[in-house]
């Protein structure tokens, strides 16, 4: 029997939400409260936007940039631009002007849709962006002004379009999204997502053992829409017809908690700094918010401390799902859940959380391997560690217009992460290869020490970085941000570390700081942290 070869086009999934749940809501935070839009209304507006873009001259494969917060208009772009065959070029609003200018020009964006409060970030760059021919301004109030010539308001623009616009048939390997890395080493690099890759990722993300999203959920997308396609959440939620909630620019923990309580959120997704801030707010006012509907939170971007994982379960009864991925993995690839196998039901809570602390199990359809310096596979024994490789139908095989042969080999993406794989096939990421510390010929994992320090009461954040040493090559230094009530001393931190690490692995010094540098995606920026220590003339005790 011959089966139909229907192209895997994203709009076939996205249209389902408005079809099965036309009256379900997409809710966005606003200055005065919230904006509410039904799936049916959003689908109509997405077609108007696509039609107006086509009338402007945007065709198959053309880039349409978004420079926006998380809200309903950005959601409309997520549906309209890929479905019409163009490419959604998400622009990171937290990047500096140099990287932002590079990304827009390298991606060759023809149109940029921008929130009015972000215009001051784009206006100085506009004369140096030759490919951009139109700026469309999204404004909550409808009152905006700009120095950019020819800019038009979002609502005025989509009124030009027809609400019965038909999505075209395309090659399933046609591009739909262009996302760039944060550029911590060299220029940012672009990963081009295709209809096929995103279709398959969307299906995998909805699986029970991934995050178990369903049409019964209320999904809170806190992770920025400009970061790795919001981890694919808008697409999976739309396919299922789930209620969606977006915070716009209101990222304060109290405002996030207000939304979670008011909208009866069941699944919320964000980076560890978000979840630490939420924890602090709840601990300060434990009776203020009703979070009885919240079932699980997805935490990605960097590994959450074990203490944070356990707090959400012990205090709120909420499962924190740890997820790992990269811009290049479209983006989620590995997930760690409390009970991931039938046999785990027999484990104690402490044993279950020992598994949750691991990076997780691979999503179906992907392959991983760890290799040594000669590219030879290493045993999955939980102790051998090497560079992590990954491949599969939603993993990048090259960068957009940027040859990086050292990143791709024999169909594998070389992640730059150092990892172990245990006999149960759990992935355990040890560190970024550039962040490992080599002391006296032995490797020290900065991540392991950081996570251990973060489990100490009174610690808000911790970073461990290498500093040069004349005898040992490199030695670790810990930088710690105390919580508001933290009365910690260096001896407290060192005694805590000595409980789990050998003497040679312990930091040579603990420095207390007010804040730690973060990347535009909320991860510790080790490059900046190391540079700051050097610029400040810091010396290890043995070098003083």
Q: How many other C-beta atoms can be found within 10 angstroms of the C-beta atom of residue 391?
A: 18
Residue 50 main-chain phi, psi, to 5 deg: -60, -45
SS3 state at 259: helix
Active site residue 328: yes
Write down the residue that tokens 């401390």 correspond to: 305
231 is catalytic: no
Q: Are the C-beta atoms of 208 and 342 separated by less than 8 Å?
A: no
Structure tokens at 375: 């590219």
b (16+ CB within 10 A) / e for 16-36: bbbeebeebbbbbbbeeebbe
Helices and strands (H and E) in the chain: how many: 15, 26
Taking the C-alpha atoms of residue 456 and residue 449, their distance in angstroms, rounded to an integer, is 11
Cβ atoms 231, 323 nearer than 8 A? yes
Residue 282 region by backbone torsions, left for phi larger than 0, else alpha for psi between -120 and 50, else beta: alpha
21, 44, 90, 181: the catalytic one is 181
- Calculate Rg over the CA atoms of the chain: 23
| Best CA proximity match to 245, nearest among 63, 21, 27 | 27
| β-strand pairing of 33-38 with 25-30 | antiparallel
Residue 181 designated active-site? yes
Cβ pair 206, 236 in contact under 8 A? yes
Q: Which residue is it, tokens 């991860």? A: 523
Joined together, the tokens standing for residue 256 give 């996030």
Describe the chain by its helix, strand, coil percentages, rounded to 5: 35, 25, 40
Q: Is residue 427 reached through a cis peptide bond, with omega within 30 degrees of 0 on the bond before it? A: no
H or E segment and range at residue 122: helix 119-122
CA 74 – CA 512 distance, rounded (Å): 40
Q: Report d(CA 34, CA 445) in Å as an integer.
A: 44
Catalytic residue among 216, 438, 489, 504: 438
Catalytic: which of 443, 472, 482, 527?
A: 443
Tokens of 332: 């989620």
Half-sphere exposure of 48 (CA within 13 A, CB side): 16
Count CB neighbours of 534 within 10 A. 11
Query: How far from each other are the two terminal CA atoms of the chain, in whole angstroms?
Result: 78
**Using N-to-C axis directions, what is the helix angle for 72-83 and 10-20, rounded to 10°?**
130
Residue 201 CA neighbour count, 13 Å, CB half: 29
Active-site option among 24, 319, 328, 474: 328
Residue with tokens 């006999």: 423
- Which residues are the active-site residues? 181, 328, 438, 443
């Amino acid at each position: 029997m011959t089966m139909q070869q229907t192209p895997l086009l994203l709009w076939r999934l996205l249209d389902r939400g408005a079809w099965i749940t036309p009256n379900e809501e997409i809710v966005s935070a606003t200055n005065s409260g919230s904006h509410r839009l039904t799936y049916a209304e959003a689908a109509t507006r997405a077609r108007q936007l696509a039609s107006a873009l086509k009338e402007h001259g945007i065709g198959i494969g053309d880039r349409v940039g978004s420079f926006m917060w998380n809200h309903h208009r950005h959601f409309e772009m997520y549906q309209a631009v890929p479905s019409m065959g163009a490419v959604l070029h998400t622009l990171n609003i937290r990047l500096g002007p140099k990287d932002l200018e590079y990304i827009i020009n390298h991606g060759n964006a023809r149109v940029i849709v921008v929130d009015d409060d972000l215009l001051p970030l784009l206006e100085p760059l506009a004369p140096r962006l030759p490919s951009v021919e139109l700026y469309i301004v999204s404004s909550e109030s409808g009152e905006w002004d700009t120095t950019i010539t020819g800019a038009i308001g979002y609502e005025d623009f989509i009124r030009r379009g027809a609400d019965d616009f038909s999505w075209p048939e395309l090659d399933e390997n046609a591009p739909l999204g262009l996302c760039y890395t944060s550029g911590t080493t060299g220029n940012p690099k672009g990963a081009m997502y295709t209809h096929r890759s995103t279709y398959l990722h969307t299906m995998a993300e909805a699986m029970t053992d991934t995050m178990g999203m369903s049409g019964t959920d209320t999904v809170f997308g806190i992770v920025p829409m400009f970061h790795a396609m919001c981890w694919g959440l808008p697409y999976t939620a739309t396919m299922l017809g789930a209620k969606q909630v977006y915070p716009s620019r209101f990222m304060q923990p109290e405002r996030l908690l207000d939304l979670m309580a008011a909208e009866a959120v069941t699944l919320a997704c964000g980076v560890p700094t978000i979840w630490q801030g939420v924890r602090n707010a709840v601990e300060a006012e434990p009776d203020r918010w009703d979070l009885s509907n919240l079932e699980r939170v997805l935490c990605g971007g960097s590994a959450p401390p074990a203490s944070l994982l356990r707090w959400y379960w012990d205090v709120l009864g909420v499962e924190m799902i740890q997820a790992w991925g990269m811009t290049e993995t479209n983006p989620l690839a590995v997930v760690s859940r409390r009970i991931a196998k039938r046999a785990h039901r027999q484990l104690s809570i402490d044993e279950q959380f020992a598994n949750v602390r691991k990076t997780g199990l691979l999503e179906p359809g992907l392959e991983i391997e760890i290799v040594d310096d000669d590219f030879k596979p290493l045993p999955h024994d939980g102790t051998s560690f090497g560079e992590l490789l990954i491949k599969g139908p939603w993993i990048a095989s090259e960068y957009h217009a940027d040859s990086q042969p050292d990143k791709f080999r024999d169909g594998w993406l070389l992640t730059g992460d150092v990892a172990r794989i245990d006999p149960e096939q759990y992935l355990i990421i040890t560190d970024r290869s550039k962040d490992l510390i080599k002391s006296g010929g032995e490797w020290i994992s900065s991540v392991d020490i950081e996570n251990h320090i973060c489990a100490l009461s009174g610690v808000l954040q911790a970073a461990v970085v290498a500093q040069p040493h004349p005898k040992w090559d490199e030695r670790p230094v810990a930088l710690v941000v105390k919580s508001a009530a933290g009365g910690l001393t260096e001896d407290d931190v060192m005694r805590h570390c000595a409980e789990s690490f050998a003497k040679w692995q312990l930091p040579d010094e603990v420095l207390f700081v007010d804040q730690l540098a973060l990347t535009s995606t909320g991860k510790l920026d080790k490059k900046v942290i190391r540079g700051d220590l050097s610029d400040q003339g810091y010396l290890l005790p043995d070098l003083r």
